[in-house]
Amino acid sequence: MILLPKKGYLKRMRIYLAEMYPPLSRIVSAALLYLSFVGLLGRIHEVQLSLFSGFTLLGIWNIFAIFLILRLMDELKDKETDLELFRERPLPSGRVLESDIRFSLAVMFVSYLAANIWIGKMFWMAAALLGYSVLMFKYFFIPKILRRHLLLNLATHNPIIPLTLIYVVVLFSIEHGLRLEGINWSFSLLLVAMYWAMGFAWEIARKIRSREEENAYVTYSQILGRLGAVALAAVAQTATFLIGLYFFHSLSLSWPFVAILAAGYTVTVGAHARFVFNPNRITSKLKPSAEWFMMSLFVALIVDQVLTAWPEVL
């Protein structure tokens, strides 16, 4: 039974979302991710895209919602660690109640599934994706092992990214009347890999610290060393960049696509180099550069679509 939160729930959640999951910026990010990803799927399968449709809204909503669900779950999973190491955050500071998080999580569960119910096939896939997120929340029922081994935790949790992207591929196929066996899976899975690699790099980058910052919070720089952690993130981002170049060549993407993607990649590599040669509390902030690289890919693909395919649709 879900108990209604006390008076002030909405105000507390506004505080929480503003700090931990700003709705406007996250919706924009979800829209850019979805539109850029589907845009290249359209190029791969030579189909015209309809930007203003229920499928587009559903795709953007699902990306926004599933990552908000994961964020709320992390609040509950990490509450003891946050209480010890990150007391300024909304939940450990007491500005948001645990009951607020649990109630919001229940609301998001219902909203997420309800949005998918109008497309039968997608409902079951959305339910499967939600089921995987619940397994993550439960640490796949081996919490003692996964809590102690960050790399194993990464290996079991990070697949939520390609699973979400495969959901988008299936949604795309239903919207355009393509049978699953008619999907160009070699190119589609390569597209998934391109997005997954930069998401993987973001996960690594956000847990890299300089030696002076390290504490009881387990980071990849503790496990792999500063150079090892940076190299792992850089290799993943380089994979995204090289796959992008392959799509540029094989699908005849525009030169602005390459220019924007290369600019994002250069900024990211520069941030890595700055940290490697001068590690400190400022240069260790690699998460923003990883996000910049992701945005550069999204924008590059959308610009390419505007220059080529979308004028015919609009």
Domain boundaries, the chain: 11-183, 185-314
Residues of the chain below pLDDT 50: 1-5, 311-314
Q: Do residues 218 and 264 touch, judged by C-beta distance below 8 A?
A: no
In sequence order, the 6+-apart residues with CB closer than 8 A to the CB of 204 are: 220, 229, 232, 233, 236
Asked if 11-183 and 185-314 have one fold, the answer is no
- Residue 128 makes CB contacts below 8 A (sequence gap 6+) with none
Any idea which architecture 11-183 has in CATH?
Answer: Orthogonal Bundle (1.10)
- The CATH architecture that domain 185-314 belongs to is Up-down Bundle (1.20)
Cα angle 33, 299, 27; round to 5: 40
Residue 314: predicted pLDDT: 41
pTM of the predicted protein model: 0.92
What integer pLDDT is reported at residue 7 of this predicted model?
61
